[in-house]
Amino acid sequence: MAKLGNPYPFPIMKVYTQEEFGEQDKALDNIPSDRIFDYPVADGKALYYVESFSPLVIRHIDDSDGWSLPDTHIRGLKKEDVIKRIEGRKLLNKFF
């Protein structure tokens, strides 16, 4: 069962210009990719920083659109679920 930690310290900004997207990308690049857990929500994705795998503790990263998962969904996550999503993202990134 996952626990939700305090929000990850991320520069909260509304992104409207290409330059602002670049600034946000640089901030995300500073977070180790093996610690970023994302999950599709509506027209975007919810981003989380994995603070600990055992016990599983994740922290919300409030990027430009700020999507998040309901607490009930987070409590139901297992370590294996999060690792599978992270590994899947790594494989996808090899193509882009």
Condensed to tens digits (0 to 9), the pLDDT of residues 29-43 reads 889 989 999 999 988
Question: Given the structure tokens 């994705």, which residue do they identify?
Answer: 45
User: Between 74 and 20, where is the model more confident?
Assistant: 74
Q: Which domain holds residue 71?
A: 3-93
What's the pLDDT score for residue 2? 84
What's the pLDDT score for residue 52? 94
Q: How many CA atoms lie within 13 A of 28 on its CB side?
A: 19
Q: What mean pLDDT is predicted for residues 21-28?
A: 80
Q: What mean pLDDT is predicted for residues 85-91?
A: 90
Nearest to 41 by CA among 91, 85, 93: 85
pLDDT digits (tens, 9 = 90+) for 50-83: 999 999 999 998 876 778 999 899 999 999 999 9
> How many domains is the chain partitioned into structurally?
1
